[in-house]
Amino acid sequence: MLNFCSPPEDDRLPEAPGGFCWWYVDLVDERGDGAVLIWGFALPFLEPPTALPAAERPFVNLAIYVQGRCTGYWLVELDPREVTPIDGGWQMGPSRFVTRRGPTVTVQADLVLPVPGGTAPIVAHLQVTGPAAIGAPPPTGPHRWSPVIGAGSGHLELSNDLRLAGRAYHDRNVSDVPLASLGIREWAWGRVAEPGGDRVHYVLWPEAGTPLVLAVHLGEDGTVRWIEGTCEEGGGSRGNWGLRVPRMMILSDPSGARYEVSTPRLVDDAPFYARFPLMTPNGRGWGERVRPGGIGRWWMRPFVGMRVVGPSRSSLWTPLFVGTEQDRLRRLRSEEHTSELQS
């Protein structure tokens, strides 16, 4: 299902159809406000695999969370002809992603994101710096998850005057085969910034058999420690679309030591995906829950399309879901008016 491993030295993409690759950064401050940025190729949550290789399906996704709400959201598909490798990263349309590697790793993202129904794009700058994660096993297997930065720091600035700063985390996820081929019935992932380092968990329930429970600690010096343990869940379930998200998860290692993390609310809720803040007595972070078998069902494709901006997608309802929260109704009316004039 998954190989936890050290990050590769290059950004080579999977070539087989159905493969995917993404880079993930999150930011959280002491109040629990923050952001999640993902960029890559062939995001499997958008639709089932196609006959195209990953390089033909680039995307950028940014979500902003303030006071327990998603106050800004962008999911952008790009024309692959507008995506080129550059020194240290990628030029993806008007946005640029550069990673400088060494004992300290720095990620710089300069984003230009469309605002449906608006008059100007949002411009965002995100920088994350932290110790390079060291000590994970070498890469093997078709599906590889690699923490790159733990216990880092970062800041985000948007052209709408929003500023966020706090603890930051960065990883990479790549697969040579489609998500549906990995035998994963469901997974839970989470990262919590605590004093002395980051705690990360990855729990995968297979279609048949025993779950894989990985508990990883990323120290302030970049040192990676991990164990395979057990997981208990409790406190009822959350989610309005049938995806179970428990209020509490308890991870235990073979010595009996326990680590408990709670989910106060959901900030993204779908039939196959949920995102939520995580809390421990000493830290805050972000988590997600995914049910791969729920992706791509025919009845939800129009609703998924409403949350995506791209050359091959267009929906009158996109202003309600993409862009900043405070002006979405005004932008929806503007989009409807434009469409009436064009018709």
pLDDT, tens digit (0-9, with 9 covering 90-100), for 4-28: 999 987 788 999 899 999 999 999 9
State which amino acid sits at residue 222. G
CA–CA separation, 62 and 41 (whole Å): 15
Q: What are the Cα distances from residue 89, in Å, to 10, 84, 92?
A: 9, 9, 10
Say whether pLDDT at 106 is over 50.
yes
Strands 184-194 and 197-206: antiparallel
Q: Is the pLDDT of residue 293 over 90?
A: no
Taking CA atoms, 4 is separated from 101, 124, 207, in Å, by 20, 31, 19
Q: Which tokens sit at 41?
A: 């190729």
pTM above 0.75, yes or no: yes
Task: Give the model's confidence band at 343: pLDDT under 50 very low, under 70 low, under 90 confident, else very high.
Answer: very low
Pick the more confident residue, 312 or 71: 71
Name residue, tokens 């299902």: 1
Alpha carbon distance 301, 289 (integer Å): 19
What is the rounded distance in angstroms from the CA atom of residue 259 to the CA atom of residue 223? 19
| Mean pLDDT in residue range 49-68 | 91
End-to-end CA distance of the chain: 49
Taking residues 191-197, what's their average pLDDT? Answer: 96
Place of tokens 């959280």: 28
Whose CA is closest to 73, among 338, 265, 267, 311?
A: 267
Residue 246 to residues 39, 206, 225, 249, 256: CA-CA distances in angstroms? 28, 18, 26, 7, 22
Residue range 287-302: mean pLDDT, rounded:
85
Least confident range of 52-61, 179-188, 230-239:
230-239
Percentage of the chain lying above the pLDDT 90 cut: 74
Half-sphere exposure of 171 (CA within 13 A, CB side): 24
